[in-house]
Structure 1
């Protein structure tokens, strides 16, 4: 292959991108309701829902996602498999898309039910997807591959916002101006479901769940270049699992029993909550409302949103070059500082310049604010966008990985739900002075990472525990397996 890439390494990229496509579901849906509620036809179809109903629609999705991630995502990925977790999540999204698109006229309850189902589906898929990538990708490219996880969020937003922009330019569509935006959400889950049967399962899951070493070997042979690599990785997985069963716990209780895992859980919760408090969560949810304080034309705002999603794809790609060169920690700290500075300048420019007729800003001021918010995204996407997902998916040991990733990632929705309850009021009362708050949060997050978050660049998953004050599971597992051989006890038989 070109650039010296072997066919198996290329295949590793392919299967990882299939799993990363689960994030397209999240990116699309995070933008879809922001898009359709601007349609006069949607408002009329559901009898002009008030702000309380609109809030319920958002809350239904968030509660569904939190339930899916906290309570269902981990067990499904652990007991049924990573691929089955992704498939179930996609199936939920497909059913929910039909519920929303073809809800009876005036039946907002059906629409809200679809939002709740789509949240549950995404909570399940977004737990299984990054775990699958982390468990199949070799350590030296794991960071680069996981970058596409965040980039595909921007791909989802890109598709949604441009479809929405196109429908606003075609008034002859009538009610289908909002229905088309929703129905296109079928595209990616159908593609994922079609590709899942042809990609390998997780070797770690095969050994962890069924003790099936041969299936694990078969899966690894499809993505590793040599038999030596396959055997070495199988041995590492078995050693780590044996130690976790003997010395820690094979269940989720290890998250509370093991001091090292508790530390990782606390760090992951703060980082995932922080991801949404950087200002990105508010910009994504209320970008239209924010830009309405600067621009008066709806088409301008729609175009800016679409361009924002487009540049978000390009900006996330920066992480590919940086993530395994400079490491996770440097990106997180640099991103936090850059975002904080952007927020201070945005707030200063908007609050210290005069309004023109209609309460908007002059064109040069408006362009400056858009440029600064795009610059904010330039800092956010490769750092607190992509890197938080990468770090979260790689720091937990196999016995708790699925549950921990599900809980940590859904902390994003918990933080977003709480914060977004008062941000619109804050924005209405204080305008762009609210952005000074984001600046302070970003600087705090940079300090937090500097003092408390260790670097995980290129560390094998089975050896990552030692970074957090825990035992090296591979080395400890070597002793367990050696003792079992001496005692002539099969590793698969409980002691």
Structure 2
């Protein structure tokens, strides 16, 4: 019981990286309309430029995702998360008051817009690092039989962070004039992130480095100390021996276990974004406003959607180690297909109303019980120890690049055709189901080292086939 509590406590600290990931990416949903008024309307910017501003943090996410492999391999999982927490804190205050260091006037200007975007990119680097390293940290700490649930807690933290910021944004805007929100309210929304960022930074100093990283740096004694707090002594010794053997097995080049494992990781990440989830998250208030809701009401409907997300993420946590990864992903894809094609149909018929809300809830609920948490679980566990830092970095960078493309093109696509836009996301949902059914392996209940041996055997079989 004591050992389980230890695992849970350090997992909860690591999941604060997920909470900040969700907080930082969703804070824009409440501020997006104000940013359009403050910057885009004042400076007469196009929809494309506004879309790029809303999505600017995603540039940092791509950079952070790419850097995560180098940082987590060189400095460790723990210290990479500490650096991410510092970036979150700087970005929160800088995005709120971008004129603080460089401008005497806070009136909108291209220079001020550029500075705002730079601070958002800094926060995005923190998100990119945390999105890769938080699930990696948990995956390397957690025992195989509960790894899926514990890594899924990171997704719960992401969604909970989004829900928290939905409440914060709603609370800031509630009862205030639109002019006040457009002038001051959006600043408070961004500044509020500094509180969880500071808490994350302080708590990280109390958690250990992962045993697999310690073994990679030939720190076996420290690795055993951590493992002995997780397992009984005999199991800790056996696990340490197994980890050591995995590092001796092959060189740590990215494709040393074959190309398919990298391609599968990248495509899991790309499909997670091409189904359109972040459009629903970033632009939720605007979508509900298009249904005829007032601004306060649209933010409240966003909160309802956030609550649905939390409930269905909990379902994923409870079932991912019982039913497995593949069934959840396929079921989720089918649910997202129904939801997106339903929204598309409502858009084509101009029957925007409660039906649209129902289909959006079906879509987001399906995502949150499947592709939301399960992709992070798979990315944290399918890659072998020797290449995990590099491979996760590639997969996460691909995910953020896909996110940036989908989010920044949404306003332009909607100007062309709302129905076709949502049909595109529905089509991607169908393709995601076919991809999982055909190519993604089941990983339920296997240790990271067992999965590594599975990929080694697959790679050797492929070489035998190609040479014969």
TM-score using structure 1 length: 0.85
Match status 1:66 vs 2:89: no
Deviation at 1:472, TM superposition (A): 11
Q: Which residue of the other structure, out of 439, 442, 459, is the alignment partner of 2:426? A: 439
Alignment correspondent of 1:233: 239
C-alpha distance in structure 2 between counterparts of 1:135 and 1:33, whole Å? 32
SS at match of 2:205: helix
Q: Residue 318 of structure 2 corresponds to which residue in structure 1?
A: 321
Assess, with a 3 A threshold, how the Cα gap between structure 1 residues 335 and 37 changes in structure 2: closer, same or farther. Answer: closer
Give 1:431 shift.
Answer: 2.1
Other structure's SS at 2:369 match: helix
State how far apart, in whole Å, the 1-side matches of 2:419 and 2:285 are.
14
* SS of residue in 2 equivalent to 1:326: coil
Q: Distance in 2 between matches of 1:240 and 1:21?
A: 30
CA distance 1:289–1:432, shift in 2 (3 Å): farther
Structure 1 residue 276 corresponds to structure 2 residue 266:
no
Aligned length: 446
Choose from 337, 340, 344 the match for 1:343: 340
Q: 2:359 aligns with which of 372, 386, 401?
A: 372
Q: How far apart, in 2, do the equivalents of 1:313 and 1:464 lie?
A: 30
Task: Say whether 1:219 aligns with 2:226.
Answer: yes
SS of corresponding position for 1:222: helix
Q: Note if contact 1:27-1:154 (Cα within 8 Å) is conserved in structure 2.
A: yes
Q: How far, CA to CA, are the matches of 2:220 and 2:75 in structure 1?
A: 17
Runs of 5+ unmatched residues, structure 1? 1-5, 355-360, 474-495
Range 273-282 or range 343-352, more displaced: 343-352
Distance 2:64 2:171 in 1: 33
Distance 1:59 1:286 in 2: 11
Residues 168 and 177 of structure 1 are in contact (CA less than 8 Å); yes or no, is this contact kept in structure 2?
Answer: yes
What is the root-mean-square deviation in Å for CA atoms of aligned residues? 2.3
* Secondary structure in structure 2 of the residue aligned to 1:459: coil
- In 2, distance between residues paired with 1:82 and 1:348? 45
1:17 is matched with 12
Deviation digits for residues 427-482 of structure 1, max 9, x if unmatched? Answer: 22222343222222111111111111110001100110243353799xxxxxxxxx
Aligned partners of 1:232, 1:458: CA distance in 2, in Å? 17
Shift of 1:345: 2.5
Contact conserved, 2:65 with 2:393, CA < 8 A, in 1?
yes
In structure 2, distance between residues paired with 1:267 and 1:127: 16
Please identify the structure whose Cα radius of gyration is greater.
1
Question: In 2, Cα distance between the equivalents of 1:206 and 1:257?
Answer: 21
Deviation per CA, 1:160-189: give whole Å up to 9, x if none: 111111111242866442222111101222
Q: Secondary structure at the match of 1:255?
A: coil
**1:90 deviation in Å?**
0.7
Post-superposition shift, 1:46?
A: 9.8
The CA deviation string for residues 315-348 of structure 1, in whole angstroms up to 9 with x for no partner, is 1000122101110011111111111122222322
Is 1:35 equivalent to 2:22 in the alignment? no
Give a deviation string over 1:225-282, Cα, whole Å, max 9, x none. Answer: x1111111111111111113xxxx13xxx223432xx211101111111001112122
CA contact (8 A) 2:257 2:459 kept: no
Aligned to 1:460: 447
- Which of the pair has the greater relative contact order for Cα pairs under 8 Å at 6+ separation? 2
In the other structure, the counterpart of 1:285 is 282
CA spacing shift, 1:135–1:427, aligned 2, 3 Å? same
Return 428-437 or 124-133, whichever deviates more. Answer: 428-437
Q: For 1:322 and 1:11, how far apart are their aligned partners in 2?
A: 23
- 1:41 Cα deviation from its structure 2 partner: 10
CA separation of 1:12 and 1:109: change in aligned 2, threshold 3 A:
same
Q: How does 1:83-482 map to 2 (within 5 A)?
A: 83-104=78-99, 105-106=106-107, 107-171=112-176, 175-209=183-217, 211-224=218-231, 226-244=232-250, 249-250=251-252, 254-259=253-258, 262-352=259-349, 354=351, 361=352, 366-468=353-455, 470=457
SS at match of 1:454: coil
**Whole-angstrom distance in 2 between the partners of 1:40 and 1:439:** 29
* Displacement over 6 Å in runs of 4+: none
CA distance in 1 between partners of 2:41 and 2:194 (Å): 22
Deviation larger for 230-239 or 109-118: 109-118
Deviations 1:365-402 (A, max 9, x none): x2222122112111111211100000011011111111
- Scaled by the length of structure 2, the TM-score of the pair is 0.90
How far the C-alpha of 1:61 sits from its partner, in A, is 1.6
